[in-house]
Amino acid sequence: MRSIVSCLLISTLLVLTGCATQASKPDTANNMTLGTVQRSIHKGMSQSSVAEALGSPNIVTRDSDGNETWIYDMVASYASYKNSSVYGTILIFGGSSGSASTTTGQRTLTVIVKFDKQHKVKSFSYNSSKF
């Protein structure tokens, strides 16, 4: 009897453990936009707050005074396709017309965050382009 109860208890725990889910935070680095940078980054922020807002930087450098600079460099390509067509008939006669267009381009975002010796944001700059 005791072994049946033990088996039921273990089975129940396994089922409940298998059903548990862990909420994960979205990858901020892949979702970084100019608006995110403008809204999230300000002077005096800690390095950990910057990393939480923007993710890990692409490049980290240290100047001769020992101050760190983080550089985020993002490039995204995009393409959109639009197709439209019209068809009409009048008794036996018919006609059709169609058009299609494709738009492609790239967007870039470069963010440079400079920290002081206390690991707080001393200054930051950004450049965004679309072509």
Which DSSP string do the residues of 6-50 spell out, in sequence order? HHHHHHHHHHHHHH--------TGGG--HHHHHHH--TT-BHHHH
How high is the pLDDT of residue 17? 54
Tens-digit pLDDT profile for residues 52-90? 999 999 999 999 999 999 999 999 888 887 876 666 666
Does residue 83 fall inside a structural domain?
A: yes
Residue 78: give the domain boundaries: 31-130
Is 97 within a domain? yes
Instruction: Note whether residue 15 is domain-resident.
Output: no
CATH value at residue 102? 3.30.1450.10
- The strands making up 59-62's β-sheet, listed across from edge to edge, are 59-62, 68-90, 93-115, 121-130
Domains: count for the chain:
1
- pLDDT tens digits for 7-23? 555 665 555 555 444 44
- The pLDDT tens digits of the residues spanning 76-125 come to 888 887 876 666 666 555 566 667 788 889 999 999 999 999 999 999 99
Is residue 16 one of the residues assigned to a domain?
A: no
What pLDDT, on the 0 to 100 scale, is given for residue 131?
85
pTM tops 0.85, yes or no = no
Residue 10 falls inside a structural domain = no
Q: Is residue 87 part of a domain?
A: yes
